[in-house]
Structure 1
Amino acid sequence: MAASLLLVLLLAWTTGAILRFASYYGDHMVLQKKPSQAVIWGYADPGTTVMLIVSQGHNLMEKMAETEGSNGIWKVILKPMAPGGPFTIMIRQYDKEEVANATLKDVYFGDVWFCSGQSNMEMTVSQVFNASNELAEASHYPLVRVFGAALVQSEVELQDLASIILPWSIPTAKNLGHGDFSYFSAVCWLFGRYLFEKLKYPIGLIDSSWGGTPVEAWSSKKALQECGISGYAEKATSSYLDAGPKELSVLWNAMVHPFLNMTLYGVIWYQGESNTLLNTDLYNCTFPTLIEDWRKAFHEGSSWQTQRYFPFGFVQLSTNHLVEENDHFPRIRWHQTADYGYVPNKKMPHTFMAVAIDLGDESSPYGSIHPRDKQTVAYRLLLGALAVAYGDKTMVFQGPYPEKVQVDIAHESLNVTFEDHILVRHSDNKTFEVCCSEQALCKWSAVSITSSSSRSVILHNTKCPNNMIGLRYAWTESPCDYKLCPIYNVQGLPAPPFITFSHSNPGWTVS
């Protein structure tokens, strides 16, 4: 599919005049609506002038652009456009007595979201729960448009995409469920569909993801240097984590950098599994730095039309069933928040997170690392987007987080108070753990939930009532059964994993 499409594009681009749009502009696409201004760019014969006309029955806008450089690149910034369509966009090149034209049809203005990450973002709609119904529903959402970048890596930053796997399309069962880990991303599609149902105007979705890839492949060389990375000290050995390229910046170069000139509204991201085996404890630097670097690059590349601090949503890692348990998954989950435990925070402003520790799927035919409930993932991302990206102050989008830890030595108990009202779905003796200090070493032991109130839980600590220095929650690879973690808020969102120590948290009291 990708090879044949690329051949068609190359034939079109090499016959007649050079005039054309950049690769990812096409019929049926969505351009960013106001207050931002959409950017359109492409190629023409060097030294010529390009006229761009936006029309909807009659001309609404005309813009002129001069080509620059030996590649004859031109760029036009449209005036702010209200959501809606369809529009026709035509470019015309005047060169001596010859005139060349190229046209985009059925173009809408709305919000454009960029979806990226590894295989849990790459999973198609045909792979999720209730897939047949989800695919059948596709045709009901003709104003949610989809585009897929092909899997390409490059040692240098590319100006334009080298290949496309799915040109801008009106959604159908076929292009949403073409094949396993092919196109189109289920998380991306469901998020966009839910968003459309709320906003009632066009949504454009760009899927640029590749399974088995670490954050380093999606980061620019400059961003990696800020975290002291210039090469790998270790290699991932697990087959499902070793599928995609690992080399520094190769996906930034080929699958992100080409989009920088385009105006976006926001990004959603689902990645981190590969970094459970690669530079794990640098993720609290590499991930926040990627966000900041992408924001700066998209802002500048779009001539300051993509907002400098555009919203960035992500999925906190779900679960994975391993025979030999380790703490790599919980460490990555913590580092995904820059070690705050929640977002947004000082290091990660204007971000939102979908907690997924309670969505494990051990019977998934794609391996337990690929849970099929992407509907809940997308819904939790939607809540964060509505609150953070669209400013709905009434929207609750994150689960409860602890506010105080009161240690009662005499009664061998802990009172953990949360910032919001909680629901305890069940009491267990494994999800909470205390750190018992033994000669400066930390030994973690599970403690039981004995009772709860509207905002707190009481833990019974017989392990080390006199020398407890730390507390953590859901700190395992698979901490909960499906939608059965102990702590939720009244809206049904799970408490995220956390870890806290007495010496660094003013919320600790001992009596």
Structure 2
Amino acid sequence: MAAWALLLALLAPAGAMLGFASYYGHHMVLQKEPVGALVWGYGELGTTVTVALSGDGGLVVMKKTAEVKGPSGTWTTLLDPMEPGGPYELTARQGTENVTLQDVYFGDVWLCSGQSNMAMTVLQITNASQELAAASQYPYVRLFAVAPTRSDHELEDLEGIDLPWSIPTPEILGHGNFTYFSAICWLLGQRLYETLGYPVGLVEAAWGGTPIEAWSSPRALRACGLLEEMGSPSGPHAPSVLWNAMIHPLLNLTLQGVAWYQGEENTLLNTDLYNCTFPALIADWRRAFHAGSAGQTHPLLPFGFVQLSTYRRQSPQDTFPRLRWHQTADLGVVPNTRMPNTFMAVAMDLGDERSPYGSIHPRDKQNVAHRLHLGARAVAYGEKNLVFQGPYPTRALLEVTRALLNITYTQELVWRSRDMPAFEVCCSRQASPCEWVLAPVVTVQSHQVTLSVAGCGRLVLGLRYAWAEWPCDYQACVLYNPGGLPAPPFLLHTSGDRELLLQPSFGI
């Protein structure tokens, strides 16, 4: 915190002194063209601040002016769109005062947020020493970490920073557990840099053990009827307290995308409202960042997320599979009509029973980042014909006379674990609701799985796949595509005849 305190004193001093807002600093990355980066800071009320961007040799390439306005004495200016690259100096001048940020680059800025699986550091993951040693190979992937803080009201600027903008080093990435800097965020940034070939700025705002309600604005909570029903959770669990302190201050940043890993805490809180609270958070963050950046952040800001991994083997609880389903707004795959411009990394096959941090914290973050990266390339960067998620069923047809159920998939199938039970059918019985029973796999063809439903009788009311807290062993779920991406879990319901439809169906 000493480095942060010094930086704050230099760049964002109190009173009438000139300074940049807390999350602008040396070594930072600002969003590149085709949009502009918004820059703001503090100054003396009623004066004019001149902001200049200078390149090599001090040559001024851009100059902007901004008036310092109340009540908090802030100025704001929008830079012209800049091609990726650098280094630049960014200077704010007010009368005889000036503050200069050095080693500033333009590239893509990604926000990484969530709970403890997002907060896990490189020190904690598989092959940590190898990953740490590689840090010096990525000097243009720049890092910034918000300190875990909460507030009962929306803050204009950050109250705490764990890591000011920094060039990655093994010491920064490996200094502790569940503190700066996020392994998933770092590994995603690495892969983005390798693909894009220009600077990437990573902003981490994460806090372990926190529910989505704490990251949601009052607007988003009201959209799900939650604000009046939350009771009185305290600390970082309270409604909107992390939105207020850790997200709202960042809204002036122009962003390229968001990566999100959260949900474990909501297997204990409002689980079956996550199909509302998660789409509502995404839509609300998009509106807020678009407005806060003077329209520069895209109104459909690309939003990637990690579907929950595993927790307890042989657990009878179904909150994890329900939460996984709700992460897709009960539609199974993304992007979808309720969650446009999103992408998902399936992680249910990355369970880590021997993790020293508890099985809820699997150490294989490399595969998570790889799957997120594929989604980012396809959704955030528009890479055509890129397969970025595993096979998903398009229809399921019942052969009554042979007691078989044929499931057609979108992609070529790889049957990786032949003896692992994974499919269940919901059978009609005299009692209600219907009973879920295992449906053994008979055959797997190129794009089709055939199940035996002999134990179900003539009427199948539903079908689900991988519906368990721990659905399979490490990288050994039943179905993958040839690229190694697992088929995501799903839940289908009957149309009233012999065909099961892909429709929202939780609760049959």
2:283 equivalent among 282, 288, 292: 292
For structure 2, the residue ranges without an aligned partner over 5 or more in a row are 502-508
The 1-side partners of 2:206 and 2:442 are apart by 44
1:425 matched residue in structure 2:
416
1:359 matched residue in structure 2:
350
| 2:66 is equivalent to residue 69 of structure 1 | no
Cα distance per residue 1:419-461 (max 9 Å; x no partner): 1211111223521001012233121111211211100111112
1:196 equivalent among 181, 193, 196: 193
Name the TM-score, length of structure 1 as normaliser: 0.94
1:19 matched residue in structure 2:
18
SS in 2 for 1:441: coil
1:447 matched residue in structure 2:
439
The 2-side partners of 1:489 and 1:497 are apart by 14
What is the deviation of 1:492?
1.1
The 1-side partners of 2:49 and 2:462 are apart by 65
Distance 1:429 1:407, change over 3 A: farther
Q: How does 1:142-157 map to 2 (within 5 A)?
A: 142-157=139-154
What is the deviation of 1:414?
1.1
1:463 matched residue in structure 2:
455
The 2-side partners of 1:121 and 1:227 are apart by 25
| 2:173 is equivalent to residue 176 of structure 1 | yes
**Contact 2:397/2:498, CA 8 A, preserved across alignment:** no
**Contact 2:398/2:499, CA 8 A, preserved across alignment:** no
SS in 2 for 1:430: coil
What is the deviation of 1:178?
1.6
Q: How does 1:382-461 map to 2 (within 5 A)?
A: 382-428=373-419, 430-438=421-429, 439-461=431-453
Q: How does 1:20-419 map to 2 (within 5 A)?
A: 20-56=19-55, 57=57, 58-94=59-95, 99-230=96-227, 245-321=236-312, 324-419=315-410
The number of equivalent residue pairs is 497
What is the deviation of 1:5?
3.9
Distance 1:68 1:234, change over 3 A: closer
SS in 1 for 2:456: coil
**What root-mean-square deviation, in Å, do the aligned CA atoms of Structure 1 and Structure 2 show?**
1.8
The 2-side partners of 1:359 and 1:145 are apart by 28
SS in 1 for 2:46: coil
SS in 2 for 1:245: helix
Distance 1:485 1:327, change over 3 A: same
**Contact 1:17/1:100, CA 8 A, preserved across alignment:** no
What is the deviation of 1:503?
2.8
SS in 2 for 1:212: coil
Distance 1:16 1:446, change over 3 A: closer
**Contact 1:235/1:278, CA 8 A, preserved across alignment:** no
1:496 matched residue in structure 2:
488
The 1-side partners of 2:100 and 2:8 are apart by 17
Cα distance per residue 1:273-312 (max 9 Å; x no partner): 0000000000000000000000000000110011111100
**Contact 2:39/2:76, CA 8 A, preserved across alignment:** yes
Distance 1:92 1:484, change over 3 A: same
| 2:475 is equivalent to residue 483 of structure 1 | yes
**Contact 1:5/1:164, CA 8 A, preserved across alignment:** no
What is the deviation of 1:325?
2.1
The 2-side partners of 1:54 and 1:122 are apart by 34
Distance 1:215 1:67, change over 3 A: same
**Contact 1:427/1:448, CA 8 A, preserved across alignment:** no
**Contact 1:420/1:489, CA 8 A, preserved across alignment:** yes
| 2:6 is equivalent to residue 8 of structure 1 | yes
Q: Please identify, of 467-476 and 226-235, the stretch whose mean Cα deviation from structure 2 is larger.
A: 226-235
For structure 1, the residue ranges without an aligned partner over 5 or more in a row are 237-241
The 2-side partners of 1:70 and 1:251 are apart by 24
1:239 matched residue in structure 2:
none
Cα distance per residue 1:150-206 (max 9 Å; x no partner): 010000000000010000000000111220001100000000000100110000000
What is the deviation of 1:508?
3.0
**Contact 1:143/1:202, CA 8 A, preserved across alignment:** yes
**Contact 1:231/1:248, CA 8 A, preserved across alignment:** no
2:505 matched residue in structure 1:
none
Distance 1:279 1:235, change over 3 A: farther
Distance 1:154 1:505, change over 3 A: farther
